[in-house]
Structure 1
Amino acid sequence: MNKLLPLLLVTISFLTLPAFAEIVHKERSMYRNILVEDSHQLRCLKFNEKNNKTNQSCLYKNDPQRLVFNYTKLLFSSLLVLEKAPERVLIIGLGGGTMSNTIHQLYPNAIIENVEIDPAVIKVAQQYFGFIENERISSTAADGRIFIKRAAIKKQKYDWIILDAFNGDYIPEHLLTKEFLQESKDLLTEGGVITANTFSVSGLYAHESATYKAVFGDFFNVRNNKNSNRVILTTNKPLPSGDIIAKRALSLKAKLAPFGIDIIELTTWITSTEDDQDWPEETKVLTDQFSPANLLNH
């Protein structure tokens, strides 16, 4: 696995729409402003009406299978760590339902549970982004932290947990703490994987990194210089070697290509904190008592 080139300092925006984008849906939910915008064949969901650059989910209307966002493709690095096809998947943060739909196409027998705090987002995902629900795919309107606590009481287990909650400004602070990550880890099957979508350019970078390492030990960073997203990839078993990852990438290449995912290239964007810890040892871990996300994220 190659070392990363220094990341370009770019904004946290996922994708910038042209100024002539047409608003096809707009509402104020209990939690946020929700907009759906069309620009030619591109349809995007965003939560911050004042910021025209930040979009939560996008699809190509003429090719909805092909992934738009770089970070969404990075999330599929999880398949390089999973030892077998996932049978139970938990996604915290729905957006337009892109991850759920793609995983369903890749693994149609997998049970996928989507958790989204805002019922209006679920409705918009269904109506405007083709979010699929059936006997194997469900959505629950709930806070992700509460859902995970209840799942633990029920002794539920998941092979793959994806943390992709975003409130329009950043990741909700109660989903960043050591306690929350431990609660999430406790839901994993043996060899299960947690994948978190976060950012390389953030005042929280070091604190997030220190917190994940405190719970999981060494983890993988997955990132490139295309934008500011960073995917944190963790498991409850030792991280696989570069040789194992390369072998799995070859076996997945054809399966992922229709979605615009170059899994071979993706392996070159993975680094381990065992080889490259890029934050100070004394960095304070985020806890339920110390998680000042709004103050630190400047």
Structure 2
Amino acid sequence: MTFSASLDNALYLTLEDGCKSLRFDGHSIQSAMNLDDPYSLALGYSQTMMGFLLFVPDPKRVLIVGLGGGSLPKYCYRYLPESKVTTLEINEEVIALRHEFFIPDDNERFRIIQTDAVDYITHGHAEADVIMLDAYDHEGLPASLATESYYDHCRMALTDKGVLVINLWGTDPQLNIYIERLKRVFNERVWFCRAFNSYNVIVFASKDENFKINWIKLLFSASRMEALHDLDLQGIVRRLRAGLQYSLG
């Protein structure tokens, strides 16, 4: 069965083959949920973003920019029970769909804040062990969420060993520019790879000045964590180690 409903000029809710999706212009999938397992991560890019566990396996505070269908907030809430999960979303119509995607009500560990993420983070309201940037609209990545200044404010909002995770479109002509900005802000402590089953590029930037990757230890850690998470963390390690096999930007 296929069902599609227009929510505003750019937002569509689609139900097809047991999967509910939030789409832009009826085409580009912004978020997807498997109705049989609503807390799982249905899309390869969101699975790859959870690779932050390789850097920060036990975050106390996770800040997510961009709600969409809530896949990442829901996953972190359920499978990281010691974490407080805060999501920033500017669009009230997206927040209004939270129950369509089985997103939990706000509580002591979980909350959604309607706000401009640039204002929120640059004015010092944020502090987190992990910040995930996954905010797109029907026109793509808002320019204000990809400036060097904004990345620097994200770095300042991170705890000393924190990590910034960013979902970027692999076909974005500015892709290489964004990564170079991140390298300057994080003093080259930046790793990236193509996401599973997509052209998205997932970038990880560590604030920890003493952090150095030991690939063998990282594979071992990934193997241990896979007992707790239905994620191919070892595959993410291999992708990060191999680097991108295509030209950026």
Q: TM-score, normalised by structure 2?
A: 0.91
Higher mean C-alpha deviation, range 181-190 or range 200-209: 200-209
What fraction of aligned residue pairs are identical, expressed as a percent? 21
State the secondary structure of the residue aligned to 1:240: coil
Match of 1:89 in 2: 62
State the secondary structure of the residue aligned to 1:115: strand
CA deviations 1:47-96 (Å, max 9, x no partner) are 223xx2x11111111121332101001001110011x4010110000001
Q: CA deviation at 1:199?
A: 2.0
Match of 1:170 in 2: 140
Gaps of 5+ in 2: none
Q: CA deviation at 1:241?
A: 1.8
State the secondary structure of the residue aligned to 1:102: helix
Q: CA deviation at 1:244?
A: 2.6
Partners of 1:137 and 1:44 in 2: CA distance: 22
2:3 to 22, 28, 45: 22
Q: CA deviation at 1:147?
A: 1.1
Note closer, same or farther for the CA distance 1:36–1:224 as it changes in structure 2 (3 Å cut). Answer: closer
Partners of 1:117 and 1:205 in 2: CA distance: 24
Partners of 2:104 and 2:81 in 1: CA distance: 12
Per chain length, whose mean CA-contact separation is higher, i.e. which structure has more relative contact order (CA < 8 Å, sep 6+)? 1
Contact in 2 for aligned 1:100/1:114 (Cα 8 Å): yes
Partners of 2:247 and 2:35 in 1: CA distance: 40
1:236 to 192, 207, 224: 207
Note closer, same or farther for the CA distance 1:158–1:109 as it changes in structure 2 (3 Å cut). Answer: same
User: Structure 1 residue 186 and structure 2 residue 156: aligned?
Assistant: yes
Gaps of 5+ in 1: 1-19, 280-296
Contact in 2 for aligned 1:198/1:231 (Cα 8 Å): yes
Match of 1:5 in 2: none
Contact in 2 for aligned 1:158/1:192 (Cα 8 Å): yes
Note closer, same or farther for the CA distance 1:277–1:189 as it changes in structure 2 (3 Å cut). Answer: farther
Residue type matched to 2:55 in 1? V
Q: CA deviation at 1:40?
A: 2.5
Residue type matched to 2:43 in 1? F
Q: CA deviation at 1:235?
A: 0.7
Runs of 4+ aligned structure 1 residues displaced above 4 Å come to 275-279
Match of 1:200 in 2: 170
Higher mean C-alpha deviation, range 243-252 or range 173-182: 243-252
Match of 2:29 in 1: 55
User: Structure 1 residue 226 and structure 2 residue 197: aligned?
Assistant: yes
Larger Rg: 1
1:69 to 36, 39, 43: 43
Contact in 2 for aligned 1:112/1:138 (Cα 8 Å): yes
Contact in 1 for aligned 2:44/2:195 (Cα 8 Å): no
Note closer, same or farther for the CA distance 1:33–1:225 as it changes in structure 2 (3 Å cut). Answer: closer
Match of 2:87 in 1: 114
Q: CA deviation at 1:208?
A: 1.0
Contact in 2 for aligned 1:220/1:272 (Cα 8 Å): no
Partners of 2:172 and 2:48 in 1: CA distance: 18
Match of 1:40 in 2: 17
Residue type matched to 1:114 in 2? T
2:240 to 270, 293, 296: 270
Note closer, same or farther for the CA distance 1:179–1:41 as it changes in structure 2 (3 Å cut). Answer: same
Q: CA deviation at 1:44?
A: 0.4
Partners of 2:196 and 2:127 in 1: CA distance: 35
State the secondary structure of the residue aligned to 1:55: strand
Partners of 1:160 and 1:224 in 2: CA distance: 19
